[in-house]
Amino acid sequence: MPSACCDVPEQEIIFEHVDAHHSPHDHEHFYRSPSMFRAASMRRPATADNDSDQTLTSPQGDPEKAKKSVNYEDDLVEFDGPDDPENPMSWTTRKKLRITMILGFLTMGATLASSIFSAAFVQLTVEFNIGIQTATLGIALYILAFAVGPIAFAPISEYKGRRLSVLPAYFVFICFTAATAVSKDIQSVMITRFFAGVFASAPVSNVGGALADLWPAKTRAIAVVLYSFAVVGGPTLGPLIGNAAATSYLGWRWTMYLSVIYSSAISFVPFWAFRKRMHLFC
């Protein structure tokens, strides 16, 4: 009777070998007809008993295009030794400190925008005729958005790189912060504050992974401490700067303008410092 796995008549089948130690899928078929010889062999992962270089070849297609390795050890991608210039761990301490400072100041801009808005509460209640509880939503929605943004930005940083996951989102954060400064009603203030928080969460959620790429475990604690100073500095300095602006002739809108100015200035530093597009800031 004809074979169940192909259309070759029974008399044209030379043999079928099945290894008793493997599944029925790990076998070899050899077929011969008057005009062709076809072979298909499934490569098994290399072991102590089977380390031969076998490949999976399609009977109909181009064998070169159909080659497919199943030896998982060969599929690992690693750096070319500890001195590979593309390995962040091998960079100089000065370069890694520079990148850590840039990441810290970027995150500082995101956290500064959260607390600087607290100076605008009193003037918001007067201008938009709302209660103080409603005015505090400007901070509450911003912080709530920090739980939404990382759902998208964290996977992007792993698949597309830290730079692509942080800098475009940081630019959008600046745009929404500027939109808050020019809002004409309280609804616009709250909406723009929420979306500003969504995109401001990109550096907050991804910088930790960048530091882990840069620093070995032995010296990573020092880098994290330096980075934390910048992160904590944002919420600490925010109310001081915001009150200085809000209680002057500038008004509450300048709390957002000052955040835009700082964030815009620091966002240009990576474009100057990062010489080429790589998986990591460089």
pLDDT for position 198: 94
In the numeric block, which tokens belong to residue 98?
Answer: 């520079």
Q: What mean pLDDT do residues 119-143 have?
A: 91
Residue 199 has pLDDT above 90, yes or no: yes
The structure's pTM equals 0.68
Q: At what angle do helices 253-273 and 220-246 cross, to 10 degrees?
A: 150
Of the candidates 257, 282, 275, 276, the residue with the CA atom closest to the CA atom of residue 103: 282
Torsion of CA 119, 125, 128, 133, to 10 degrees: 100
Q: What is the pLDDT of residue 269?
A: 81
**pLDDT score for 274:** 57
Residues 230/237, Cβ–Cβ less than 8 Å = no
pLDDT of residue 173: 95
How far does the chain reach from its first CA to its final CA, in angstroms?
Answer: 65
Res 279 pLDDT > 60: no
Which pLDDT belongs to residue 262?
Answer: 93
The strand ranges marked E within the chain are: 13-18, 27-33, 36-41
DSSP label at residue 45: P
Summarised one tens digit per residue, pLDDT across range 72-115 is 555 666 777 667 777 778 888 888 888 888 888 999 999 999 99
Structure letter (DSSP) for residue 36: E
Compute the mean pLDDT over every residue in the chain, rounded to the nearest whole number.
75
Length of the chain: 282
Residue 63's pLDDT is 53
pLDDT at 171 over 80: yes
Q: Residue 27: pLDDT above 50?
A: no
Task: For residue range 107-125, list pLDDT tens digits in order.
Answer: 999 999 999 999 889 899 9
Q: Spell out the domains of the chain, with CATH numbers in brackets.
A: 10-75 (no CATH), 91-273 (1.20.1250.20)
Q: Which of 212, 207, 223, 215 is nearest to 90 (CA)?
A: 215
